[in-house]
Copies of this chain bind each other. A is one copy, B any other.
Amino acid sequence: MKFLHTADLHLGKIVSGVSMLAEQEYILTQITQIAEEEQVDALILAGDLYDRAVPPADAVKVLNDILVKWNVELGIPIFAISGNHDSAERLAFGSQWYESSKLYMKGKCTSQFDGIPFMDAEVWLVPYHEPAIIRQAFADNSIRSFEDAMQAVTKQIRSKWDTSKAQILVGHAFVSGGIPSDSERQLAIGNVDRVSTDCFDGFTYTALGHLHHPHAIRHPSIFYSGSPLKYSFSEANDHKSVRIVELEGKELISVTERFLTPKHDMRIISGTLAELTENLVENPDDFFQVNLMDEGALIDPMGKLRQFYPNILHLERKKQTLKETQDSFEEIMKKDDLELFGQFFEHVNGTELTETQKQKLADVFEQARKEDAE
């Protein structure tokens, strides 16, 4: 059995005001080609099909069209779940009809997880869920964390699975130790959204969504496919892919990356305004973050750059190298207003306050304190 694992399509996503929909259609066509070439037996979509709970109508059309292509026209079974960006209810609409053609779309977690028998395997769909959802569904008040919830779910699954078969879990979660990028939405403050890898002990292959780096974790049977496109400049150095997973009977025999080539790459380039406008970099219509290395004032650098690089998404000006003083809370509390402001000024401008500036600032603070006291 051979399947293709992808996730985090984020259809309808807008990056720096620019719709990614045309890029997404382009990459979906590439995924179709790979699925056909590889003659996969199934496709896995591990959540975040849309970028938001109420996606724009044209994103709805793109998802419908690609699912028709894969499932109806090419006859490929699909296992799909909702991610934290999707609306579980909206994605669940119609799922009762899809099953007849082996499109398994699970939007909402319920109290019962049932395996879907497929070739030599059982497939378990575990949509994104906050702990409260599982606490309520399982009527178990001891479930407080994401870890508790996933442990409870997989414990139930283990109590039901057929050990003579390969066990595939499709999930959408943040596994401890995983490397996030800037384009996932945080699930919780701090690290309480993490689940440990041992939640997935015993599964032949765990097909995850949520983290966008294709190698967000290293584990022999737990994989993020990564998003098929870069959605932030923190992913500029990623090479996006889909995973082709092969099983023989109940054994996992290979996990291959099939690389994707976007219509427009997302890249970071650096140089002075003169350098970048005199010697164009390759593929100047890619999506760029431009780090301008010029010092001092520039007149309309964005306007000048856009003539050559029409798809600049972000412009950064050179920063002086800063003293790497990460003050502790206690150290910060010891400093007075003037010192703190001085530090902020230096962080933003790259230069220290002059004596005149310091004096003026001291006057302002003095004045403010007086008014406060009155």
Interface residues on A, range: 20 to 34
Docked complex: A61-108 residues within 8 A CB-CB of B: 61, 63-64, 68, 71-72, 87, 89-90, 92-94, 96-98, 100-101, 103
Q: Chain B contacts of A87 at CB under 8 A?
A: 57
Q: Does A15 contact B (CB under 8 A)?
A: no
Q: In the complex, what's the smallest C-beta–C-beta distance from A71 to chain B, in angstroms?
A: 8
Q: How far is the CA of A230 from the CA of B194 in the complex (A)?
A: 50
Contact flag A89-B58 (CB < 8 Å), given A72-B96, A94-B97: yes
Residue in A54, A60, A61, A96 with the greatest tally of chain B CB atoms within 10 Å: A96
Q: Which residue of B lies closest to A54 (CB)?
A: B54
Quick one: copies of this chain in the complex? 2
User: Do A101 and B93 touch across chains, with their CB atoms under 8 A apart?
Assistant: no
Docked complex: A33-75 residues within 8 A CB-CB of B: 53-54, 57-58, 60-61, 63-64, 68, 71-72
> What 0/1 readout, one digit per residue, does chain A (120-146) give for beta carbons within 8 Å of chain B?
000000000000000000000000000
Q: How far is the CA of A93 from the CA of B50 in the complex (A)?
A: 14
Q: In the complex, what's the smallest C-beta–C-beta distance from A274 to chain B, in angstroms?
A: 47
Contact flag A93-B94 (CB < 8 Å), given A54-B54, A57-B87, A87-B57: yes
User: Do A101 and B98 touch across chains, with their CB atoms under 8 A apart?
Assistant: no
User: Do B60 and A89 touch across chains, with their CB atoms under 8 A apart?
Assistant: yes
Q: How far is the CA of A22 from the CA of B61 in the complex (A)?
A: 30
Q: How far is the CA of A100 from the CA of B99 in the complex (A)?
A: 11
> What 0/1 readout, one digit per residue, does chain A (295-320) give for beta carbons within 8 Å of chain B?
00000000000000000000000000
User: Do A64 and B94 touch across chains, with their CB atoms under 8 A apart?
Assistant: yes
Q: Which residue of B lies closest to A100 (CB)?
A: B100
Contact flag A57-B103 (CB < 8 Å), given A68-B96, A97-B97: no
Q: How far is the CA of A71 from the CA of B94 in the complex (A)?
A: 11
Residue in A57, A72, A94, A103 with the greatest tally of chain B CB atoms within 10 Å: A94
Q: In the complex, what's the smallest C-beta–C-beta distance from A99 to chain B, in angstroms?
A: 9
Q: Chain B contacts of A98 at CB under 8 A?
A: 94, 97
Q: Which residue of B lies closest to A99 (CB)?
A: B97
Q: Which residue of B lies closest to A53 (CB)?
A: B57
Q: How far is the CA of A101 from the CA of B98 in the complex (A)?
A: 10
Q: Chain B contacts of A101 at CB under 8 A?
A: 97, 100
Query: Which of B57, B90, B92, B93 touches A89 (beta carbons < 8 Å)?
Result: B57
User: Do B63 and A93 touch across chains, with their CB atoms under 8 A apart?
Assistant: yes
Q: Chain B contacts of A92 at CB under 8 A?
A: 61, 64
Q: How far is the CA of A282 from the CA of B29 in the complex (A)?
A: 63
Q: Which residue of B lies closest to A93 (CB)?
A: B64
Q: How far is the CA of A97 from the CA of B101 in the complex (A)?
A: 7
Q: How far is the CA of A72 from the CA of B53 in the complex (A)?
A: 26
User: Do B96 and A94 touch across chains, with their CB atoms under 8 A apart?
Assistant: no
Q: Chain B contacts of A60 at CB under 8 A?
A: 89-90, 93
Q: Shortest 8 CB-CB distances between A and B: which pairs?
A: A94-B94, A57-B89, A97-B97, A64-B93, A97-B98, A68-B96, A100-B100, A61-B89
Other 7 A-B pairs with CB < 8 A, given A58-B89, A71-B97, A94-B98: A53-B57, A57-B87, A57-B89, A57-B90, A60-B93, A93-B93, A100-B100
The 21 listed contacts between A and B (C-beta, < 8 Å) are: A53-B57, A57-B87, A57-B89, A60-B89, A60-B90, A61-B92, A61-B93, A64-B94, A64-B96, A68-B96, A72-B96, A72-B97, A93-B93, A93-B94, A94-B94, A94-B97, A94-B98, A97-B100, A97-B101, A100-B100, A100-B101
